[in-house]
Amino acid sequence: MGIFLGKKDSQISVDLDSRIHDAFRAERMLRHFGLRCTSSEARSRPRLRVVNRALRAGMESAMRALHAASGALHSAAASPTLTRALDAAAVPLSRALQATLPSAPALLDASDVALSRAIVATVVPPLVWNGLGRLELHTRAISKLTRRPLVGVYACGAVIAAVSVLRSALFAAAMRSQPRAEMLDAPLVHAAAGALGVFGAALFVGAYCRLGIVGTYLGDYFGLLREDRVAEFPFSVVDNPMYDGSSMVHLAEALLYASPAGVLLAAWLFFCYRVGCIFEEPFTARMYAERGVSAQEQRDKRE
């Protein structure tokens, strides 16, 4: 604060500087989660209390929604209803694969229902997040139900994370029940798989760190946009690092397990991601283009 009258006054100055620094840091967190204070509140002395109160209320509501959604999903996964729903599509698919694919018992067991379950489950996450995004975009039903966009983002995040975990679990179960290929069980393949897995994990985790929870889980559909689209690593390497990284990690897992079925499932996962991007990318580009035009108009008015 620039006031040095004595030891006691200096300590008061340091404490005040620390509290103001905490206020600025809390406000940056609020901007990240889509919550803002008014300009008059931001300039006033009670700024710290206003910021902390809004941040606490938003996070508590989000955590309650996340806990409720996770509990509901856990109960659904523990019941046989989910298995029956998957088998409703997986069993006919298994029969169709068995009838159409050539017989290659040494590499692929087309009659295995676990393989068909994994194929069906791989389609579910892109359908879920595109469906939830369109539902919120056109009806605002999720925001109305949760009362706050931030809470809606966390609730959608819980659902998307749950179906993604389910997909990965069924992916692993399919590999365990399928034949292994000796040609893939080689040191060179294992080394390549390890490097691929590390790079894929770096893309996935890097994208998550750049976007945060709001940017990852449909925040743009709730109107919680960033100032600009992220262009730093890993987005400077690939356009969709989270999707590509996830595909690489699953492919690396399949190679380490020497599973031809796992390789095919990883390729299927990559294809499903690409189809999802067809619906997702134009919307994201349009939203940030409109935001850029609006920001430019505001700057022109001020000038």
Identify the pLDDT of residue 15. 43
For residues 275 and 93, give the distance between their C-alpha atoms in angstroms, rounded to a whole number.
20
Radius of gyration of the chain (CA): 24
Residue 68: closest CA among 159, 160, 168, 165: 159
- Alpha-carbon span 76 to 230, nearest angstrom: 36
Number of structural domains the chain divides into: 1
Note the pLDDT of residue 4. Answer: 36
Query: Residue 57 domain-assigned?
Result: no
- Look at 269 and 33; give whichever has higher pLDDT: 269
The whole-model pTM stands at 0.67
DSSP, collapsed to helix, strand or coil, labels residue 103 as coil
Exposure class string for 102-113: b at 16+ Cβ within 10 A, else e: eeeeebbbbebb
Q: pLDDT tens digits, residue range 118-129?
A: 999 999 999 999
The answer as to whether 119 is a domain residue is yes
In a domain, 24, yes or no: no
Is residue 250 in some structural domain? yes
User: Does 62 fall in a domain?
Assistant: no
Per residue in 40-61, pLDDT (tens digit) is: 444 445 555 554 555 555 555 5
Q: Which two tokens stand for residue 142?
A: 């999720």
Instruction: Give the tens place of pLDDT for each residue, 182-234.
Output: 889 899 999 999 999 999 999 999 999 999 988 899 888 898 887 777 888 99
Range of the domain at 84: 79-302
Distance, CA of 293 to CA of 4 (rounded, Å): 47
Q: Which of 65-69, 77-81, 151-155 has the highest mean pLDDT?
A: 151-155
> In the block, which residue shows the tokens 């892109």?
126
Asked, for residue 248, whether it belongs to a domain, the answer is yes
Range 146-153 average pLDDT? 90
> Which of 82-96, 143-157, 240-254, 289-303 is predicted least confidently?
289-303
Structure tokens at 13: 């100055």
Quick check: is 40 in a domain? no
Q: Average pLDDT in the 162-178 region?
A: 93
Q: Give whole-number Cα distances, 151 to 42, 143, 161, in Å.
A: 24, 8, 15
Count of all residues that appear for the chain in the document:
303
Q: Is 280 annotated as a binding residue?
A: yes
Residue 112 placed within a domain: yes
Longest dimension (CA), the chain: 88
Is 200 annotated as ligand-binding? yes
